[in-house]
Structure 1
Amino acid sequence: MTPLLVAVGAALGAPLRYLVDRAVQARHDTVFPWGTLIVNIAGCALLGFLAALPAGKGAMALAGTGFCGALTTYSTFGYETLRLAEEGARMFALFNAAASIAAGLAAAYCGLALAEALTA
């Protein structure tokens, strides 16, 4: 049952990631991968929130592993950062790496704090 829940969550998260990424990138005329940064930060916040809830294994498989796992994308982050560096946009590459890590951790912490505040 757990693999099915992960698959259902991923089937929802992956298309949402693609659609949000395209919508955000369409509004920015830059080589910087804003869309990927936004979905990764949002996914970190949601996963932090979910981790602090008293959810069962099924809910975490569906929403945490499946949905958030497909919504966020480390491989695309890595590819886009490397592409920026190879194309000479090294400052953008450094900013992307630093911002993704710092903002992702901050977002996860904020999601966790929000869930704890709501369940206290």
Structure 2
Amino acid sequence: MSAEMSSHFRSILEKWRTQLKEEVDRTVHHMQDEAANFPDPNDRATQEEEFTLELRTRDRERKLIKKIEESLIDLDKGDYGFCESCGTEIGIRRLEARPTATLCIDCKTLDEIREKNRV
């Protein structure tokens, strides 16, 4: 991968990570500001359900931030853009669509077929 492409993907990954971290901060402030002890059990249950959904979303984003950071480490090592399974280059279009991709499309397809057959 050329230095220009590495720089391009580094920029994408860093912006994405920043956006996700800002969302986490907004969630913390929102939950602190909105936390109230409603006398009505239905209102309390609604608020708790909203907080649960928001926390579940943030947990998925936390895992995504970890993948982004792993991709940035791979960029630093020069391993970014290569399939972890077969070692071939992951296509640029795939990386544009999923910058944290670690498998080429062929290996990912095989992985999904294996996963489907396990269930």
What TM-score bracket applies, with the shorter chain setting the length? 0.3 to 0.5
Greater share of helix: 1
Higher relative CO (Cα under 8 Å, sequence separation at least 6) belongs to 1
| TM-score, normalization by structure 1 | 0.35
Higher Cα Rg, which structure: 2
